[in-house]
Amino acid sequence: MSAAVIPVEQIKTITMSIYRYDPTVDKKPYMQDVVVEIPTDKDIMVLDALHLAKQQEPSLSYRRSCREGVCGSDGMNINGKNGLACVTPLSEVLKRDKITLRPMPGLPVVRDLIVDMKQFFDQLEKVKPYLITKSDSPDIERKQTPEDREELDGLYECILCGCCSTSCPSFWWNPDKFLGPAALLQSWRFIADSRDEATEERLDDLEDAFSLYRCHGIMNCVSVCPKGLNPTEAISNIRNKLLTREKA
């Protein structure tokens, strides 16, 4: 079966300005313009346009997997704002038929649009993003009331794409000391969990001047989160808990 031919009148040419850097070849990064033809009868995503660009530039590198906003692999800087390429409609970001793609800021670039996420995951690890219990395990499972479970809405949905932390200036300046919005959202997710029994230890770990308190409420994290989550509110909740708790 032959491939469907798109009528010429349903095709539009756009220019994709893409950050390129291959440390094994390039002395420094540069922006490359790639002209691609996209269909006009449907709205494709930025990731689809990247696939078209890659057909012309096979060496172009980027991460992607699920292509539906679940895996969090294709976080990148689209026209100056972080987002997931797979769920960002091209029509929303095209300006005069041009789009600019860069890697997420603040992390070392491995190649082209791929960044090294080690610092991001190191910070996540610090908040112990798993349930900690001390009491004996019940026979079947640790139960929650529907109300307790509701407390986790808006927290558990995080896919760890890194869009929020890499758009946070505080994380850019102190990525080794400030945990960043993604890790702090996860911290609150377990502090707020009625089954978790390590709240005091979790709060103790955040009492220093940097881990949590370096958040200046800039709210870039809220602005860019592709899942519509609110890390600033989570940070505020932890802060209130820190300031109002009575130590034993």
Partner 1 sequence: MFSSLGHGSKEFLTIRACALLILLYTLYLGSFVVLAHEVNFNTWSEFFDNTFNKIFTSIFFLAFAVHTWLGTWAVASDYLTPRIFGNLGRILYISFRSVVAAIIALVLTWAIIIIW
**Which residues sit at the interface with partner 1, rule CB under 8 A?**
169-170, 173-174, 204, 206-214, 239, 242-243, 247
Place of tokens 């001047």: 209
CB of 90 to partner 1, least distance (A): 35
What the block records as the tokens of 242 is 């820190």
- Name the residue nearer to partner 1 (CB basis): 178 or 190: 178
Describe the strand order of the beta sheet including 81-84 as a list of residue ranges.
Answer: 30-39, 11-20, 98-102, 75-78, 81-84
- Name the residue nearer to partner 1 (CB basis): 1 or 209: 209
- Name the residue nearer to partner 1 (CB basis): 211 or 230: 211
Number of C-beta neighbours around residue 18 at 10 A = 23
- Name the residue nearer to partner 1 (CB basis): 140 or 209: 209
CB of 207 to partner 1, least distance (A): 3
- Name the residue nearer to partner 1 (CB basis): 151 or 205: 205
Distances (CA, A) of 110 to 37, 61, 70, 165: 28, 10, 23, 18
d(CA 20, CA 163): 20
Pairing of strands 109-111, 11-20: unpaired
- Name the residue nearer to partner 1 (CB basis): 46 or 238: 238
CB of 127 to partner 1, least distance (A): 15
Classify the C-alpha dihedral 140-145-151-155 as positive or negative: positive
**Residue type for 59, please?**
S
Say if residues 36 and 94 touch (Cβ distance below 8 Å). Answer: no
User: Which helix H or strand E contains 203, and what residues bound it?
Assistant: helix 199-204
As a whole number of angstroms, the longest Cα–Cα distance in the chain is 74
Place of tokens 């798109």: 6
